[in-house]
Amino acid sequence: MGRIALVSEHASPLTAPGQLDAGSQNAYVAALSAALCGLGHEVVVYTRRTAPRAPNRVRTQAGYEVVHVHSGPSRKLAEDEATSRVTDFARFLSADWNAKRPDVVHAQGWLSGITAVLGARGRQVPVVQTFHTLGSADRSLAVERLLGKEVAKVVATHSDEANDVLRMGICGSKVSVIPHGVDLKLFTPHGAIAPRERTRRIVAAGQLVPHQGFDDLIRALSTVDDAELVIAGGSATGRLRGDPEARRLRTLARSRGLAHRVTFTGPLRQRELPALLRSADVVACTPRYESFGVNAIEAMACGVPVVVTAVGGLVDAVVDEETGVRVPSQDPRAISQALTALLRDATRRRTLGAAGRERIRARYSWDSVAAELVRVYADVIRPSPEETSAHEPRA
């Protein structure tokens, strides 16, 4: 194909491999870029400079290049401040692409999408958009609707997101569903297993924010006998001490008489997570809403059975009663019943774990995700029949 440009305004792939403050979008961009390079494509990632001493361009070991764009102060910016710098970022892209035009641009997030569309304007470069998370405010939705109509394709990471995009009035032929991937070399059934004290362990992972539903999981634990709950993840600041959500969850556990059965590990690096997942009898993912369902597919890749709420990407990833168990969102009783049934049945846990592993291997490897995206890229690069006929010699 040639040259693929990824615009990821606020999420640098360089923070993804081991840093504690890396988010799911950082990891997505890093893993996707590496997989695309592995398929033989030239990949350049454009992200905003957030450190004064960051080099202008970095060639990573995976083969892709990261370009740090001067766009406002060299620090992390609030969304409104970053939005005001869109024209600076777009101007840089325009100049860089004037020197070396990409074949396709893939924008990560709505702000990156606006920047990419402005930078590509007048250069006949198709832009593919992934929103990652759709906004809820009227202003955000209006911008996303306009952006969706402007770009060549919208790639949703799960079916619920695709349906939301269609409800915005975006033509169905422009929308594809391609999931978030998982590192199958890291997340595997084989390897180190974290130690544990109790005979039964439930593990949950994710940032400590209210929508993750850890409170529903703690309430469910009240009626799950002789099991510990280990919650892995950091707060919005990356620290647990003094964090309001961590304090709220600990208070809830104490009020239920569960303080001795609920453990918070704090943030873990990605390489530390597989051992914890393997130590679990069940991994629970119980958010109120979810973009990717990353923790569930990582657990499934490790061959661990999962109980998930039926939201977002979890609906696509988990086939109920075949590769895991789905329960309604915000329903501690249903969560408790599902956990109790699985903890009592080792054979069913093994069966679901093995089936989940096979589903992830077949659908969610980064190589598969990258290959699907390349087909989308090729489709928007390929000239339309009208364009082809316009250039054919006439008899």
Rg (CA), the chain: 22
Task: Read off the pLDDT of residues 124-169 as tens digits, 9 standing for 90 and up.
Answer: 899 999 998 886 555 567 889 999 999 999 999 999 999 999 999 9
Q: Say whether both 148 and 246 belong to one domain.
A: no
- In sequence order, what DSSP letters do the residues of 221-255 get, joined into one string? HTTSTT-EEEEE---TTS--TT-HHHHHHHHHHHH
348 and 245, same domain (yes or no): yes
Q: Is residue 373 part of a domain?
A: yes
Please give the pLDDT value at position 136.
Answer: 58
Over residues 317-323, mean pLDDT: 97
393, pLDDT greater than 60: no
Number of domains observed in the structure of the chain: 2
Residue 393 lies in a domain: no
Residues 6+ apart with CB under 8 A from 256: 218, 219, 221, 222
Q: Is 111 helix (H, G, I), strand (E, B) or coil?
A: helix
Q: What is the pTM of this model?
A: 0.90
In a domain, 395, yes or no: no
Residue 17's contacts (CB-CB under 8 Å, 6 or more residues apart) are 30, 270
pLDDT in tens, 295-307: 999 999 999 999 9
Whole-angstrom Cα distance, residue 102 to residue 3? 5
Q: What average pLDDT does the chain have?
A: 91
Q: What's the confidence (pLDDT) of residue 326?
A: 98
Q: How many helices (H) and strands (E) does the chain have?
A: 15, 14
Give bridge partners of residue 263 from the DSSP assignment.
230
Per-residue tokens: 364: 């969610």
In a domain? residue 327: yes
- Decide if 392 is inside a domain: no
Give the pLDDT score at 138: 56
Between 240 and 320, the higher pLDDT residue: 320
Note whether residue 257 is domain-resident.
yes
For residue 224, the enclosing domain spans 201-363
pLDDT in tens, 197-230: 878 999 999 988 899 999 999 999 999 999 999 9
Q: How confident is the model at residue 237 (pLDDT cuts 50, 70, 90)?
A: low
The enclosing H or E element of 106 equals strand 104-108
Q: How far is CA 35 from the centre of its chain?
A: 15
Looking at the fold, whether 11 and 158 belong to one and the same domain comes out as yes
Answer yes or no: are the C-beta atoms of 203 and 232 closer than 8 Å.
yes
